[in-house]
Every structure is written in C-alpha cells, then in structure tokens.
Amino acid sequence: MSNIRVFLAGACGKMGMEVIRTILDQEDMEIVGAADIRNQGIDIGTILGMSRLNIQITGQISVDSLQKSKADILVDFTNPQSVFSNAKEAIRAGVVPVIGATGLDGEEISELEELAKVNNVGVFIAPNFALGAILMMKFAQETAKYFKHVEIIELHHDNKLDAPSGTALKTMEFISQNRKPMLQGHSNEYEKIPGSRGGNINGIHIHSVRLPGMLAHQEVIFGGLGQTLTIRHDAYNREAYMPGVMLAIRKSYKSADFILGLENLLD
C-alpha cells in the first residue's frame, strides 16, 4: 500500500510545523508539499532545524501546485480567509482538505459541501483535534439532560483571532441537542458594562478569555440545586492535537464523505 501524500498549508506556523514533525514519524505518510506566506523558496527541513527534506516552501495554494505534488490530502491550519480559498482549490484538484482553522461560516461550509459533491471529493473540518476536547463536548452533551443551567468559558492565547472559539460553539451545539432554549439568571438582569455576561446563544452564556501564557482551555460549568458540575479540558502544547490530526488524515484518505467534527470518527 502506498503512503498517504500530504501537502501542508501554513507550514511555517506552530501547528503546521508540529504536523510536519509528526508526519515524518509515521510509516504510512509522507510530506509532498508545503506552502506559507513566509520563507518561500526555503527547504522546509531548514525551517524545522533538521536536514533538508528537498521540499521548498511555496506561496499560494493552487490546483496546479497540488496536482504537481500528487497530494492526496491538504492539511490546512491557516486562517478563515485563506482556508476557504485553499479548500476550493484542493477540491478542484481532487485533493481532500483536512481543515483545522475555525471561523468558516455556514454559507462557506455549504459552498464547500456542494463543490465537494460535484467533484466527488471528501472534506474534513474540525474546530478541535484534541481527543480530550471531543470527550469534554460529549460529556457536556450528556450532562445537559440533567442540568439545564450552563455557562461556557473558553481561554486561549492572545493571538487567537476569532471569539468565541469553534470548540465553544460546537460545545453549545452539543448541549442544545439535549437542552431547549431557556432564560438563565434573573429576568431583570442588566449589564453595568456591556458584554459583562459574555455572548448568549439559546440562553447559554459563552465567555472568551485571551491571555499570553495560555494555549487552549475550556470549562463547561453546570449549575443545579446546591451543586455545580465543571467539565474542563486543557491543551498545554500542540502535541495534544496530533493523534486527532493523524486520525483525520487516515480516515479522509480516498474518502468522498463530507465530515464536520472529529467526534464523527470516534467509535
């Protein structure tokens, strides 16, 4: 069986470099291309501080660059603006995009789904690749059957662009499957400072914290009579995401399925 050929978008970013290091340790995968707005023309091995890999960093993702590399999978951890364009190029090239960037809106996701259907190409999109984070969401979903009052606090590094995080929104969706929209707190509650109570979807308040020293953290706090239940996940480094990324690559290889969320790959 031939190796899974992976092209990296955002290869010089922290997540991109971690993905490359991890793939280099896999027996069934190989890196065949790398793109980034930085360090173009430089061998990706040099960027990683190792021997040359004979793969030069290119610029914008295109159908031509993907087809020339004979890639099977495009892994993209760039940003919502780039990832949408990159995914469309991948689909047109017959390459399955595995997307880790959050921020795609419903209209963009629908457009990708339609394009994938026309081209008979799979797509995988996940707001979080940490297996522990997926379990946190599933535990919160189950807890919502018994505790209806809940708030979500997500905490990330200060360079994160979007708020709330995709994980927080996905958690809200999971909870909402077992909890009808309802008012929480006092009916006459008011904010002395606008935004003090965070965002509000279906009566679930979501709070976003952005501070240096953090990576990715979230807690879901449920309240009941005389008790609270807190479910929390912490990712302390980017290695936490790698088992999930490798799982997504393997499951997406030669797939024509459109999949939203890593939870759909778990037994």
DSSP H helical ranges for the chain: 14-24, 44-47, 63-69, 80-92, 106-119, 131-143, 166-176, 242-252
Whether the link from the prior residue into 164 is cis, omega within 30° of 0, is yes
Task: Name the helix (H) or strand (E) containing 106.
Answer: helix 106-119
**Known catalytic membership, residue 160:** yes
CB atoms within 10 A of CB 240: 20
DSSP 3-state of 1: coil
The gap from C-alpha 171 to its chain's centroid, in whole angstroms, comes to 13
The DSSP call for residue 124 is: E
Helix (H) or strand (E) holding 9: strand 4-9
Q: Name the active-site residue from 14, 138, 149, 160.
A: 160
Q: Is 205 a catalytic residue?
A: no
Q: What angle separates helix 131-143 from helix 242-252, to the nearest 10 degrees?
A: 90
Query: Which of 156, 170, 207, 217 does the annotation list as catalytic?
Result: 156
Contact assessment for residue 87 and residue 110, using Cβ atoms and an 8 Å cutoff:
no
**Residues known to be catalytic:** 156, 160
